[in-house]
A and B are shown apart, each in its own frame.
Chain A
Amino acid sequence: MSIPFYIRKRQIFAYVSLTPALVILGLFVFFPLIQAFMTSLSSGLGINQRFVGFRIYGSIMTSFEFWNSLRATLFFSGGFVSITTTLGLALAVLVNNKRVKFRNFFRACIFLPYMISMVVIALIWQYMLNERFGIINYLLNLLGFKGLPWLRTPSLALFSLILIQAWALVGYNMMLILAGLQGIPDSYYEAGKIDGATVWQRLLYITVPLLLPTLSLAILVSTVHGFTQSFVLVQVITHGGPLYSTDMLSYLIYRTAFDYFDLPRANAFALIGLGILMIIGIVQYKLEGRFRT
């Protein structure tokens, strides 16, 4: 059984083209990953490292901080992903419409938060959500509502962080989905209109299904972000409190690594997080494949 030459040529092109990317990823992402794994199996830092096996993982599995951080992360990611994806989709659709005047202005405004550094965003929102002096409660009072203790109670604190992070990233998701919207041929919509579909039906049965690759990208991206980048908000505003309600995995990793200099444990946390994300990613990959048929 011989493979035709033209297919061979294509395969060679594929491999050659992938080589730079694979080399860089292999050397600069995969290799540190292996090192991280080795570190998690050892104890001590730098020259003092010595191999101790899976002991750290055992200690982690029985620790309150780990399971608490998983809980916080899942709540956070769940809320964050759903809010940013739905809002992002809604805004992308609105802003895509040629009839809307000043779309460029709206797009720029909504995207703006993403361009501000996360630390500054955290500090600004810390002020705005201040129970007594913050502007959010001030506005609520003007409208006749009572101000909420945004950052003081455990349940609200996590929710506030979701809000802030969503605020920062809705524009990002919007742009992502917007790009995806461009790939849907108009002919589908025209066909739909001819068949008498309403606006909502067109949205549900044409847009969303065709947007699936982009939507799954947006969801995965948001999930990854919630798992890995969300620590800035915690580090600046809540420090894991009140009462460990906002002690997410990303913050746990950061403070274990850099506040306690406990690299083995921090790497172990990160690898477990990576494992969870991989499971989520693979599930999405499979679902996407099934949907596409």
Chain B
Amino acid sequence: MFSFFHKFQTKDSNKNRSPIIPVWTITVYTVLILFAVIAGFPLFFIASLSLQSFKEVSRFPPTIVPHSLRFINYVTLFAKGPFHRYILNSFIFAGTLTISHIFLSTLAGYILAKFDFPFKHVITVFVLSTMLFPANLRAIPLYILVVKLGLVNSYAGLIIPFLTGGFTIFIMRQYILSIPTELIEAARADGASEFGIFLGIIFPLAKPALTVLAIFQFTLRWNMLLWPLIVARGDLMTLPVVVAQLKGTTERFAYWNLIGAGSMLLLFPTFVLFLLLQRYIIKGTQGAIKF
């Protein structure tokens, strides 16, 4: 089985070798810690905002460390409408799309990567170019389409236009390109069905890309604002739409503390998903033939 790539492997299993040059270790850790701090600090700021009072949060310059920890902000947030419903809606929207992308995009990416057929290049260019068109401008024509199909005010109308995308297909295609074709040929020689090959060989091997795709898609859809803003109304609203309402029109000072709480809430599921899935990114090459 494949072992992991050790970039700095100056020390191997031979115990007679001298230990790692410390300079490398220090540099590596410094860089990583530096980036972790740079990445993490604004998050700390958001968390701090979520715990401040309206008075504190309206101050300028903004306070970084809150004086009182008002966890009650989270409660106030929940009181502003059927929050459990909004969270459910966000889950349905993001979850369904993630799953559909995992299946449809991987299948399409596999075909584009490993198969030959007439018009392959044309189709590839067509599929990949769909990711270049900004979602913002699709919003209005799509909304008109949804209205015509009678799907307004339903989950179907919210979800169906985004069931797959050139983007995710591209990711899977690129990754599957690097899977050795010999594996597929061998399975075919063994008499496996095409769909069986897809499920049994490609899917497991593509785990790193699949995980990445799942995390990206879920986060993207979970945080998506423009489309749900236009299509989802009332009970169907998703979390980002509701949090955006808190911005107000700057006539009243924005409820920054509640926005902060909302943002922390928005962060939570995607973060948990990431923590759960991230190991699959590394594991991926299990089950492949070493040659």
Chain A residues in the interface with B (C-beta under 8 A):
9-11, 13-15, 17-18, 20-22, 24-25, 27-33, 35-36, 90-91, 93-100, 104-121, 124-125, 127-128, 130, 132-133, 135, 167, 170-172, 175-176, 178-187, 189, 193, 199, 202-203, 210, 213-214, 216-217, 220-221, 224, 227-229, 231, 250, 253-254, 257, 263, 266-267, 270, 273-274, 277-278, 281-282, 285
Identify which of A35, A116, A214 contacts B43 (C-beta below 8 A).
Answer: A116
Q: Whose C-beta in chain B lies nearest to the C-beta of A105?
A: B36
Chain A contact residues: helix, strand, loop or mixed: helix
The answer to whether B125 and A282 touch across the interface, beta carbons within 8 angstroms, is yes
> What CA separation (Å) do A217 and B109 show in the bound complex?
13
Asked whether B38 lies within 8 Å of A115 as measured between CB atoms, the reply is: no
Distance in Å from the Cβ of B182 to the closest Cβ of chain A?
A: 13
A31 contacts which chain B residues (CB < 8 A)?
Answer: 141, 145
- Proximity bits, B202-240, A CB within 8 Å = 1, else 0: 000000110110011001000101000000000000001
Give the complex CA separation of A182 and B164 in angstroms. 25
Number of contact residues on B: which range applies?
35 or more
List chain A residues, Cβ under 8 A from B247.
119
Report B's interface with A, CB cutoff 8 A.
Answer: 2-9, 20, 28-29, 31-33, 35-36, 38-40, 42-43, 45-46, 60-62, 64, 104-105, 107-108, 110-112, 115-118, 123, 125-138, 140-142, 145, 160-167, 169-171, 174-175, 177-179, 194-195, 198, 208-209, 211-212, 215-216, 219, 223, 225, 240, 243-244, 247, 259, 263, 266-267, 270-271, 274-275, 278-279, 281-282, 284-285, 290
The residues of A that contact B138 with a CB separation of less than 8 Å are 28-29, 32-33, 36
Quick check: B5 and A96 within 8 Å, CB to CB?
Answer: yes
Complex contact A253–B175 (CB within 8 A): no
Contact check, A214 vs B175: say whether CB atoms are below 8 A apart.
yes
Cα–Cα distance between A118 and B267 once the two chains are bound (Å): 12
**Cα of A115 to Cα of B40 in the assembled complex, Å:** 12
- Shortest distance between the CB of A109 and any CB in chain B (Å): 4
Known: A115-B274, A179-B208. A18 touches B123 (CB 8 A): yes
Contacts of A21 in B (CB 8 A): 104-105, 107-108, 127, 164, 169
